[in-house]
Amino acid sequence: MNIAQAIDHTLLKPEATERQIRTLCSEALEYQFAATCVNLCWVPLVSDLLRASQVKTCSVIGFPLGATNTKAKVYEAQQAIDQGAQEIDMVINIGWLKSNELSKVAGDIKAVRSATSSPLVLKVIIEAAVLTDDEIQTMAKMCVDQGADFVKTSTGMHPAGGAKLEHVSLIKKMVGNRAEIKAAGGIRTHVELMKFIQAGATRIGCSSSVQIMQEASCPKIA
């Protein structure tokens, strides 16, 4: 399999510089990753650098806390799209979920979905590491019901941790083939990436993408 097409090459650190973003795009073009995922302020630059390629420009919305209101998320999504983003990764409002305000969570996703109509891709970040198994299942179903293309495990920024294999398996059991799964947060090796793909993820968000591709080309001899 072409693992490059399963990778979102990612740089979301607040201290990321223009030089680093340019390097990110250069690496994405070299390896032909599925997408390059950046904060909204870098979308114009990234979309320009990737314009003549098959590599998609992806922006995060409501990142990393998910605690902005729905209008703000919709505005962010519209701004990202107007500036060239083809994929949107939005963070759910975890506080609403924990408060059992499920209609508000659903409305949040639905509103951003309405602003990112097909062929734009919407990935919904549920921050699985801070959820119970029941909450993960609830959110996986809700994401599908509200039209998300992907359920994404994590922002990679929460102290509770990033992607876990058991969470991917749980999401896969819930969504089947109705949505895809993106695993993100802490995936740094080719071996780890392949385990997540085997568990059901079809997209991997990581910043160690080049290292992973080098490991895949030159596997270590046991």
User: How much is the pLDDT for 217?
Assistant: 86
Mean predicted lDDT score pLDDT of the chain = 96
Q: Is the pLDDT of residue 222 over 50?
A: no
Q: What pLDDT does residue 221 have?
A: 40
**Angle, CA of 194, 91 and 144, to the nearest 5°:** 70
Strand partners, 150: 123, 180
In the chain, where the domains are located: 3-217
Looking at domain 3-217, what is its CATH homologous superfamily? Aldolase class I (3.20.20.70)
Residue 15 contacts residue 41 (beta carbons within 8 Å) = no
* 25-60 confidence digits (pLDDT tens): 999 999 999 999 999 999 999 999 999 999 999 999
pLDDT digits (tens, 9 = 90+) for 177-207: 999 999 999 999 999 999 999 999 999 999 9
In this prediction, residue 118 carries a pLDDT of 87
Quote the pTM value. Answer: 0.96
> No. of H helices and E strands in the chain?
9, 8
- Active site members: 89, 152, 182
Q: What is the pLDDT of residue 143?
A: 98
Residues 130-146, mean pLDDT to the nearest whole number? 98
Cα angle value 173/12/75 (rounded, 5°): 80
Per DSSP, which regions of 148-187 are E strands?
150-152, 180-184
Task: Name the percent of the chain lying above pLDDT 90.
Answer: 95
> What would the two tokens of residue 145 be?
């019901």
Query: Would you place residue 218 in the very low, low, confident or very high pLDDT band (cuts 50, 70, 90)?
Result: low
